[in-house]
Chains A and B, each alone.
Chain A
Amino acid sequence: MKKFLFSIVSFFLLCVNASASEKLYLFHRYDCPHCQKEIAFLEEIKKGYPNVEFIYLEVVKRKENLKHLENVKQTLGDDTPYVPYAVIGNQSFIGFNEDTKEQIKKYLTYCSKNSCEDVVGKIIQEGRSISLVKKKAKTQEEFALPFLGKVNAKEVSLPLLSVILGFLDGFNPCAMWVLLFLISMLLGMKNKRRMWILGGGFLLASAITYALFLVAWFKINLALQDIFFLRTLIALFALGTGCFHLIRYRKMRHRKAGCTVVHEKRRNKIRKQIQMFTKEKSLVLGLIGVISLAISVNLIELACSAGFPLVYTQILSLNDLSFVASIIYILLYIFFYLIDDFLIFCIAMFTLKITGITNKYQQYSHLLGGLLLLLIGWFLLFHPKILLFSM
């Protein structure tokens, strides 16, 4: 009975504006900042489309709207969990950014001139998902891969990009020499527990420092994403750093792989610090020293790899993910960023022998990283939609 009454009320509400023949539905959450931005945008453009009715359906406080949203997604074949989720006719627009704005405007103009099927209206009226007469065109997103079976390109793209960028960023030798310094000192100790604690403390503090740095970039990108030239600036930065990596690759190609001797004064200072921390009688003081060293080294070395985190967090912010999802992606990036350091540390602790990674691979990481940054820069400038993996 309740359902029946609600259907009648909903239908009545939908029919109130008789002059508006076309409808735009926006499913939103009251606590979602992107949703508020989209509502403000829709209110702003509303006047330009007098024959379109704008209907806002909140999905947290009104559970029935959530049910409608699920039915609409099922009908339109969208399996995304994200809002804002706008629908005009049988076309859905997930998330909100500069491209969504353009697409919504285009589709509103189209439906204003050519009548579009009111799919959401029908679903609300019937209280269940419906089958469309004219299904919206779906792009080929699923690929069959050996061993893995069917893989959805959009679902794996962002995690894969996180893994690749994190791994390439981790190949950066800037902070590696400090870890090797530390391991060489730790191996001189007799207390294995102390070795694990000090080395592990260094790696954990490095991970947290870098993660905080990425979160800060991500927040800045989110806060400034309405500034239209920010994406252009980051795109140009990606192109610049991409070229820098390719130049480094070219230089390295013509010489033998090896360790470059730099930062003479700083190296001596860090060596003395590590000696002091590892010889410290109090484990707590030694750990504090090692953690402070990890923080300072990672902060100083940020300049070494600014290109990757900045570009990566821009892609995350473009994808309009929830904060928790973004943090999970950042942690994935950090995991692969530190995987080589972690492996070197563990091998050293188990075998009590220091190990390293040949610098031969460094040139290939410059090549791959450079090409990837150029590609991302190009996409950010001319085809940002390609980077919207979650939509």
Chain B
Amino acid sequence: MTVKRISAVWCSSCIVTYKDFISFKEEHAELPFFELDYDRDDIQNYHIKNILPVIIFEQEGREVARMEGEYTKKELEAMYEKISL
């Protein structure tokens, strides 16, 4: 499983949720994490609607879950558990 986070430097919600994302990342060191910038990286293939941040869980290159907007660590864990089953 791969976890991708798409955010932007001008986005308040991305900043406030970053701490929870890092905590989640540290607890799941076995997973590859990627942080993408909305303005600098090529994110066209991810079809971002109009809300940031976005967390995408991919399995074998295929998107299996997506979280849009502000999230907590608890919500990240819940989503991870749900798709890991």
Are A261 and B16 in touch, CB under 8 angstroms? no
Select B16's contact among A178, A255, A260, A358, beta carbons within 8 Å: A358
Query: Interface code A56-89, partner B: CB below 8 Å = 1, 0 otherwise?
Result: 0000000000000000000000000000000000
Instruction: Kindly list chain A residues whose C-beta atoms are within 8 Å of the C-beta of B70.
Output: 256-258, 358-360
Q: Is A208 in the interface zone, CB < 8 Å from B?
A: no
Bound-complex Cα distance A39 to B10 (A): 56
- Residues of B whose CB lies within 8 Å of any CB of A are 8-16, 38-39, 48-53, 68-71
Instruction: Kindly list chain A residues whose C-beta atoms are within 8 Å of the C-beta of B51.
Output: 255-256, 258-261
Are A261 and B52 in touch, CB under 8 angstroms? yes
Are B52 and A258 in touch, CB under 8 angstroms? yes
Bound-complex Cα distance A180 to B39 (A): 14
Query: Interface code A233-266, partner B: CB below 8 Å = 1, 0 otherwise?
Result: 0000000000000000000000111111110000
Select B14's contact among A176, A259, A268, A357, beta carbons within 8 Å: A259
Are B9 and A180 in touch, CB under 8 angstroms? yes
Instruction: Kindly list chain A residues whose C-beta atoms are within 8 Å of the C-beta of B49.
Output: 261
Chain B's closest residue to A359 (CB) is: B13
Are B38 and A356 in touch, CB under 8 angstroms? no
Given known pairs A256-B70, A258-B70, A359-B70, the reply for A267 and B39 (CB within 8 Å) is: yes
Q: Name, among A262, A267, A356, the residue most crowded by chain B CB atoms within 10 Å (CB to CB).
A: A356
Are A258 and B10 in touch, CB under 8 angstroms? no
Bound-complex Cα distance A178 to B48 (A): 21
Select A356's contact among B16, B39, B69, beta carbons within 8 Å: B16
CB of A260, distance to nearest CB on chain B (Å)? 6
Q: Name, among A180, A258, A260, the residue most crowded by chain B CB atoms within 10 Å (CB to CB).
A: A258
CB of A84, distance to nearest CB on chain B (Å)? 48
Select B12's contact among A256, A259, A261, A262, beta carbons within 8 Å: A259
- Residues of A whose CB lies within 8 Å of any CB of B are 173, 176-178, 180-181, 184, 255-262, 267-268, 271, 354-360
Are A259 and B68 in touch, CB under 8 angstroms? no
Given known pairs A258-B68, A267-B39, the reply for A177 and B10 (CB within 8 Å) is: yes
Bound-complex Cα distance A158 to B20 (A): 41
Instruction: Kindly list chain B residues whose C-beta atoms are within 8 Å of the C-beta of A256.
Output: 51, 68-71
Bound-complex Cα distance A249 to B48 (A): 23
Are A180 and B15 in touch, CB under 8 angstroms? yes
Bound-complex Cα distance A78 to B53 (A): 57
Q: A257-B70, A354-B9 are in contact. List 20 more A-B contacts (CB 8 A).
A: A177-B10, A177-B12, A180-B9, A180-B10, A184-B10, A255-B69, A258-B13, A258-B68, A259-B11, A259-B12, A260-B51, A261-B8, A262-B50, A354-B15, A355-B15, A356-B13, A356-B15, A357-B12, A358-B12, A359-B12
Are A357 and B10 in touch, CB under 8 angstroms? no
Chain A's closest residue to B48 (CB) is: A261
Are B10 and A267 in touch, CB under 8 angstroms? yes
Q: Name, among B15, B38, B53, the residue most crowded by chain A CB atoms within 10 Å (CB to CB).
A: B15
CB of B49, distance to nearest CB on chain A (Å)? 8
Instruction: Kindly list chain B residues whose C-beta atoms are within 8 Å of the C-beta of A173.
Output: 12
Instruction: Kindly list chain B residues whose C-beta atoms are within 8 Å of the C-beta of A181.
Output: 9-10
